[in-house]
Amino acid sequence: MSMTELLRLSSKGQVVIPKSVRERLNLKEGDRLVAFARRDLLVIRKVENGETILNILSEPVRKKTKDLSITREDVTEAVSSARRSH
80 torsion bin: left (phi>0), alpha (psi -120 to 50), beta (else): alpha
The boundaries of every CATH 2.10.260.10 domain in the chain are 1-49
Look at residue 39 in the predicted model and tell me its pLDDT. 94
Q: Tell me: the pLDDT tens digits for 34-78?
A: 998 989 999 898 988 888 888 887 888 888 888 999 998 998 999
Please, which residues bridge with residue 44 across strands? 35
The pTM of the full predicted model, rounded to 2 decimals, is: 0.58
Fold for domain 1-49? Answer: Pemi-like Protein 1; Chain: D (2.10.260)
- Contact indicator for 58, 75 with CB cutoff of 8 Å: no
